Amino acid sequence: MSLFNPETVACPSCGAAVEFNAVFSLNADRRPDLRAAVLDGSFQRQPCPACNTEFRLDPEMTYLDVRRGQWIAVFPVANLDQWEELEARTLATFARAYGPKAPAAAREIGYGLKARLCFGWAALREKLVAFEHGFDDVILELTKAALVRGLDNSPVAIGTELRLAGVDGDQIAVAWLTSADEEVKEILRAPRSLYDEIAADRTGGWTALHATLSSGPFVDLNRLLALTVG
Ligand SMILES: [Zn+2]
């Protein structure tokens, strides 16, 4: 079931009170339309009735897609600096819902689910796009790391993020965007073969970073960034 709660938030432009039907549980199996709205960026976005400025409610919810094996705890980007604490909370929530502490029927479903934690709509969307293209999200993050390694100015910084936008033929398109409003600053491209090479790597060159990125449900390059800053 998808669950919503009425919530009043201040319009970021004029301050007027805006009513939102805030989602706190999204079931993509039963509501494919909501999954589609996450993908096209329209979900939980609406105009302010006073000034007509469109804005988006920050996500704080769980996302479930049993068919695709995805269970994702989503928090606002503003909570990124608490990822370690939220990672522990995410693991506890998953354990109660689908893990060792869940009833047998739910545990059965849980075997097929990958638990993830992400911050913001762009990060959630990326997990869905990655699945569509058959990407393992850990390898995808390593590919992004390889992509930015060759750049003079690293686009990985507080306030911006790199998110898989899609795949064009043999090119992976990665959007460098502003976290606050998801505005795309630039589209970076990498050959899909870079992903395939990293996935097939047996030299051990990626082993340490792979282990770091996959050591918890927060599979994201920001894990390293937050570590550096924190
Ligand atoms: Zn307004």
DSSP string, 126-139: HHHHHHHTT--HHH
Q: How far is the CA of 20 from the centre of ligand 1 (A)?
A: 13
pLDDT tens digits for 127-139? 999 999 999 999 9
Task: Report the predicted TM-score, pTM, of the whole model to 2 decimal places.
Answer: 0.94
CA 17 to ligand 1 center in whole angstroms: 8
Read off the pLDDT of residues 51-64 as tens digits, 9 standing for 90 and up. 999 999 999 999 99
Bridge partners of 175, per DSSP, are 163, 187
* CA 180 – ligand 1 centroid, Å: 17
d(CA 51, CA 39): 26
Ligand 1 centroid distance, CA of 18 (Å): 8
Ligand 1 center to residue 45 CA distance, Å?
13
For residue range 25-40, what is the model confidence (pLDDT) as tens digits?
Answer: 999 999 999 999 999 9
pLDDT band at 158 (very low <50, low <70, confident <90, very high): confident
Identify the pLDDT of residue 226: 56
Distance, CA 55 to ligand 1 centroid (Å)?
Answer: 9
Distant-in-sequence, close-in-space partners of 136: CB < 8 Å, separation ≥ 6: 130, 199
| Residue 230 pLDDT greater than 60, yes or no | no
Q: What's the confidence (pLDDT) of residue 148? A: 87
CA of 15 to the centre of ligand 1 (A): 6
User: Cα(210) to centroid of ligand 1, in Å?
Assistant: 44
When the pLDDT of each residue in the chain is averaged and rounded to a whole number, the result is 93
Query: Which residue shows structure tokens 């938030």?
Result: 9
Question: pLDDT tens-digit profile of 66-117?
Answer: 999 999 999 999 999 999 999 999 999 999 999 999 999 999 999 999 999 9
Please give the pLDDT value at position 229.
Answer: 47
Kindly give the distance from the C-alpha atom of residue 11 to the centroid of ligand 1, in angstroms, as a whole number: 5
Task: Name the percent of the chain lying above pLDDT 90.
Answer: 87
Spacing, Cα 68 to ligand 1 middle (Å): 38
Between the CA of 48 and the centroid of ligand 1 the distance, in Å, is 5
Give me ligand 1 centre to Cα 36, in Å: 26
Q: How far is the CA of 82 from the centre of ligand 1 (A)?
A: 30
Please state the rounded mean pLDDT for residues 187-215. Answer: 94
Residue 208 has a pLDDT of 94
CB burial string 166-186: b at 16+ within 10 A, e below? ebeeeebebbbbebeebeeee
Give the per-residue pLDDT at 150.
Answer: 75
